[in-house]
Amino acid sequence: MKIVVCVKQVPDTAEVRINPETNTLMRDGVPSIINPYDLHAVEAGLQLREMAGGEVTTVTMGPPQAELALRETISLGVDKAVLLTDRLFAGSDTWATAYALYKAIAHIGADIIICGKQAIDGDTAQVGPEIAEFLDIPHIAYIRKIVEVTADRIVVQRLMDDGYDIVESTLPVLLTVVRELNVPRLPSLKGKMAAKKADILKLTAADLKVEEQDLGLKGSPTQVRNIFAPEAKTNRTMLHGTPEEMVNKLVADLQESKCL
Amino acid sequence: MFIKVRTEKCTGCATCVASCPYDAIVMHEDAARITELCQLCRACLGVCPEGAIIEIAEESDKKEKGQGSGVWVFAEQRDGKLAGVSFELLGAGRRLAEDLGTSLSAVLFGRVSSGPEELLHWGADRVYYCGEELLQDFNDEPYANLLTRLISEHKPEIVLAGATPIGRSFIPRVAARLHTGLTADCTSLQIDPETKNLLQVRPAFGGNIMATILCPHTRPQMATVRPRVMQKGEFDKGRKGEIIAVSAEGITSRTKVLETVKEVSEVAVNLHDANVIVAGGRGVGGDKGFQALFELAEALNGSIAASRAAVDEGWIPYRHQVGQTGKTVGPTLYIACGISGAVQHVVGMQSSDIIVAINKNPEAPIFNIATYGIVGDLFEILPLLTRKIKELKGQ
Ligand SMILES: Cc1cc2nc3c(=O)[nH]c(=O)nc-3n(C[C@H](O)[C@H](O)[C@H](O)COP(=O)(O)OP(=O)(O)OC[C@H]3O[C@@H](n4cnc5c(N)ncnc54)[C@H](O)[C@@H]3O)c2cc1C
Ligand SMILES: Nc1ncnc2c1ncn2[C@@H]1O[C@H](COP(=O)(O)O)[C@@H](O)[C@H]1O
């Protein structure tokens, strides 16, 4: 079984703030991490390898320092890692990101591709399904459990708003995973040694034989026009007095606004 | 397009260096320089006091805009029932169609008990409807293939769908195939009066920032829209329109839904449709602590939600989680108990009409977005509130 996991290096978003005066991101000292959902995707890949045999390859598209994220996945037990890095990839939206990853995955070959549910910087959840479409294979999003895998078929549980669906697919397939699926393992000492020594395969746009017009900003149908800070609500009332007084005032106001 | 520093204007003040989220600006011989790490995010453009950072357009930026007219919304159903977000999409779509002077169509896959006419009553001029069995359960490929076929045939200029597990899963395939832009999880949609482009506003970086996204050169412009953010359209039983039957001939699926399992807890958990939500965070202290919330929710006929902290502690199942990585809700009344108000939680509930915050800590950020703030112990406040409401309702 050839398993490919897509991982993305992201800023630790809990700490990214916007400067309200200049409307720009303040990223001083914000660390880069592996997208948390992608750690669950890597874990799923490793568990599938334990169940069905084969090898796990992680792929990332990003700036040269994204290599660190890949080495981290090797410390967890991943067999190989591939870094797509090229100035031409800069400014990619989800379409162009998925297109470049698709070319790389087609180049490596895969029976099962696993992505995180979404990346915590953009939160779009689009790259996985788009890769599947380019590869012309089925996908199932929001996987919370892998029930069964054979050489040509997989059964999984897909999380929905009101419960879950049990879905069957042919292979090859692309899955996107949610946190409930598993608990990611920690790196082993042996893994850490391997991570230091591992050769990371680096691919450029030329290696993937893609047209410049399909890459990076040029290949991206969407554009960011501007960014700004979310507005704060201002019409707030702090209630005062004893607990009884506060509750009475609240209930009276809620009744008045026809809320009760 | 690329971004450039006009070295002759640069004073070497390094203001821009900190503004770059990708560490792509470095100081070199007393002037800023943009390195190959640049992701063209434009974050630096406004910060230079000398105006030395500029955007340079290239010939290849210009692309032919496909034609197309009409606004479409994808109306989603599950178990033969239209999802609430479908009516909100019709509300938003109607407004956009009016601004563009065009028509509004809905697309419906699968049979619904109310019949496709319901979509006309909620504001659609036309419904493209396929009631074939293949589309009754949600599967990505047949949904994506049929919608792509319809879009290629009729060429709408805007296509909207709900940012639900269904919409977020299959709409990206449609956008990929059509080589057009898709903006996820929008919270506001406007037509730019000058260019007639769709201005799509969405939260990013966990809700810490908002971004306006454009899809200037390709059509249709596609967006998924957060549930409970847009106003529903107006319901008019007398409204008439066209229902166009669509055939799924030639459409196949490599995935199959074997079974659908519903998970309902004691108090109804359908948060998207709830009018009243009582939510608990780490301050609730344990699964027993949630009892006080259940009692209030019952008295108010509401649902129970939770912060991620409470879910991670295992006090309540994940499907109650509200926020960036949980559900987006917009009830009339949201009562937040023992929740600090981290931005990741707030993005999921800030469009609630009235927010009541109960928290021991007067500095908790939840009070910044609350309509009513009560500084106090939730275990003291909630029983009082429950009793008062029961009295009112004569229970
Ligand atoms: C990528 C990412 C995604 C995330 N997604 C989400 C998400 O979807 N949803 C979400 O909720 N969070 C999310 N978070 C987590 C978020 O950052 C916060 O950690 C979380 O919301 C905090 O939950 P809390 O307010 O319940 O807990 P805390 O921040 O610990 O706050 C508990 C509050 O309870 C108060 N309190 C304690 N005892 C009492 C009492 N007896 N009476 C009254 N008040 C009391 C305290 O004063 C405190 O303000 C995410 C984080 C990251 C990094
Ligand atoms: N640049 C990237 N490199 C590798 N994988 C990515 C990249 N961007 C997104 N992905 C994958 O796609 C998933 C969804 O990302 P997104 O659509 O950006 O929310 C992530 O969890 C990753 O598995």
Are B346 and B369 contacting, i.e. CB atoms less than 8 angstroms apart?
yes
Q: Read off the pLDDT of residues B274-304 as tens digits, 9 standing for 90 and up.
A: 889 999 999 999 999 999 999 999 999 899 9
Q: Which residue of chain A has the CA closest to B59?
A: A218
Instruction: Look at residues B81, B264, B272, B262 and name the one whose alpha carbon lies nearest to residue A163.
Output: B262
Residue bearing tokens 């995180």: A116
Of A64, A141, A233, the CB nearest to B369: A233
Domains, chain A, ranges and CATH?
2-214 (3.40.50.620)
pLDDT at B280: 97
Residue B346's alpha-carbon distances to A42, A51, B275, B342, B373, in angstroms, are 29, 40, 17, 6, 15
Q: What is the pLDDT of residue A161?
A: 80
Separation CA B251–CA B30 (nearest Å): 62
By the 8 A CB rule, do A14 and A121 touch? no
Residue B80 burial (CB count, 10 A): 11
Torsions phi, psi for A181 (to 5 deg): -60, -40
Q: A24 and B260: CB-CB below 8 Å?
A: no
Yes or no, beta carbons of A27 and B218 under 8 Å apart: no
What are the Cα distances from residue A21, in Å, to B89, B205, B216, B347? Answer: 34, 18, 28, 22
- Whether residues A255 and B183 touch (CB distance < 8 A) is answered with no
Tell me the mean pLDDT in the region A106-111. Answer: 96
Q: Are A142 and A175 in contact (CB under 8 A)?
A: no
Sketch out chain B's domains with CATH numbers: 2-56 (3.30.70.20), 71-245 (3.40.50.620), 271-392 (3.40.50.1220)
With CB atoms and an 8 Å threshold, state whether A165 touches B138.
yes
3-state secondary structure of B373: strand
* Each residue's pLDDT tens digit, B5-25: 998 899 999 888 888 877 789
Question: If you average pLDDT over residues B193-210, what whole number do you get?
Answer: 86
d(CA B127, CA B74): 10
Searching chain B, which residue's CA lies closest to the CA of residue A250? B372
Please state, in angstroms and rounded to a whole number, the distance separating the CA atoms of residues B228 and B187: 9
* Inter-chain residue contact B372 with A253, CB threshold 8 Å: yes
Q: Which ligand is nearest to the CA of B326?
A: 1
Q: Predicted confidence band at A217 (pLDDT cuts at 50, 70, 90)?
A: confident
Indicate which ligand has the atom closest to the C-alpha of B367. 1
Q: Tell me the C-alpha distance between A133 and A114, whole Å.
A: 14
CB pairs A-B closer than 8 Å: 296
Minimum CA distance residue for ligand 1 atom 41: B377
Report the distance separating Cα B303 and Cα B272, nearest Å. Answer: 10
List all residues of chain A from 27 to 86 with a beta carbon under 8 Å from chain B.
27-28, 63-64
ipTM for this prediction: 0.85
Average pLDDT (B261-274) is 69
Task: Compute the distance between CA of residue A40 and CA of residue B283 in angstroms, rounded to an integer.
Answer: 28
Q: Which residue has the tokens 């047209």?
A: A211
Beta carbon of B309 within 6 Å of any ligand 1 atom: yes
Strand partners, A61: A84
Q: In the predicted model, is pLDDT for residue B63 greater than 60?
A: no
* Mean pLDDT of the residues in chain B: 90
Q: Is the CB of B340 under 6 A from ligand 1?
A: yes
Considering only the beta carbons, identify the residue of A14, A222, A233 that sits closest to B183. Answer: A222
Q: Which residue has the tokens 């499907």?
A: B319
> Given a cut of 80, is residue B343 above it in pLDDT?
yes
Q: Would you say B215 and A222 are in contact if contact means Cβ atoms under 8 Å apart?
A: yes
Tell me: the pLDDT tens digits for A117-166? 999 888 899 999 999 999 999 999 999 999 999 999 999 999 988 789 99
